[in-house]
């Protein structure tokens, strides 16, 4: 090989190595969603005087839920009625709530009512709770009943296969 050929090969090798090193700025890793702490304020009625009401505030354990997730306003109540404080449960719960009712507690689509759109086929179960299908427009009752339904059937009632 002559000097010119060796020089061209060397130049190509140097340019190739340089281009690998200067492909532009490296992508910034996607940040972990903000940790959301949800304060819950609950009224407490005095047992000695029902006219006296106090409030207490507790902080829910942190969740890695995107702050833009719809329906988070119902998270404190969901946890209060017994939904597990687990992001793997809370994320689908909030997604279902958004899909089913757009976070509207008195949503009514005929056979389905409330935040999680409890279907009228569950009327027999509702009787066991002492509730009517119309009671499913009450967010506390809706979330409580949905929890019982979820505990017995997973996400199947909302057409999401359990993992």
In a domain, 146, yes or no: yes
Can you give the pLDDT at residue 55? 55
Can you give the pLDDT at residue 2? 58
In a domain, 123, yes or no: yes
Closest CA to 125 of 104, 146, 156: 146
In a domain, 43, yes or no: yes
Q: Which positions ≥6 away from 107 have C-beta within 8 Å? A: 100, 101, 113, 114, 115, 117, 137
In a domain, 19, yes or no: no
In a domain, 48, yes or no: yes
Global confidence as pTM: 0.64
Q: What's the angle, vertex CA 55, arms to CA 54 and CA 58, rounded to 5?
A: 150
Residue 111 is part of which domain span? 39-158
- Please check whether residue 107 is in contact with residue 117, taking contact to mean a CB–CB distance below 8 angstroms: yes
Domain count for the chain, please give it: 1
Beta bridge mates, 117 = none
Can you give the pLDDT at residue 10? 47
> DSSP letter at 33?
P
Can you give the pLDDT at residue 70? 93
Can you give the pLDDT at residue 13? 47
In a domain, 30, yes or no: no
- Please check whether residue 75 is in contact with residue 38, taking contact to mean a CB–CB distance below 8 angstroms: yes
- Torsion angles phi and psi, residue 34, rounded to 5: -60, 145
Question: What residue ranges of the chain have pLDDT lower than 70?
Answer: 1-64, 162-163
In a domain, 4, yes or no: no
Can you give the pLDDT at residue 46? 47
Sequential DSSP letters for 53-102:
EEEEEEEPPPB---TT-TTGGGHHHHHHTT--S-HHHHHHHHHHHHHHHT
In a domain, 108, yes or no: yes
């Amino acid at each position: 090989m002559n000097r010119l050929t060796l020089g061209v090969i060397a130049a190509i090798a140097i340019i190739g190595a340089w281009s690998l090193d200067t492909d532009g700025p490296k992508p910034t890793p996607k940040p972990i969603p903000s940790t959301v702490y949800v304060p819950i304020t609950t009224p407490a009625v005095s047992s000695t005087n029902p006219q006296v009401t106090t409030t207490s505030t507790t902080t829910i354990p942190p969740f890695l839920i995107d702050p833009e997730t719809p329906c988070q306003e119902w998270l404190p109540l969901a946890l209060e009625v017994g939904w597990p404080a687990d992001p793997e449960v809370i994320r689908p719960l909030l997604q279902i709530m958004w899909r089913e009712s757009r976070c509207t507690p008195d949503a009514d689509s005929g056979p389905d009512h409330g935040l999680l759109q409890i279907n009228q086929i569950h009327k027999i179960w509702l009787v066991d709770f002492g509730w009517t299908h119309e009671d499913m427009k009450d967010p506390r009752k809706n979330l409580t009943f949905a929890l019982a339904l979820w505990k017995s059937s997973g996400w199947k009632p909302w057409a999401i296969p359990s993992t």
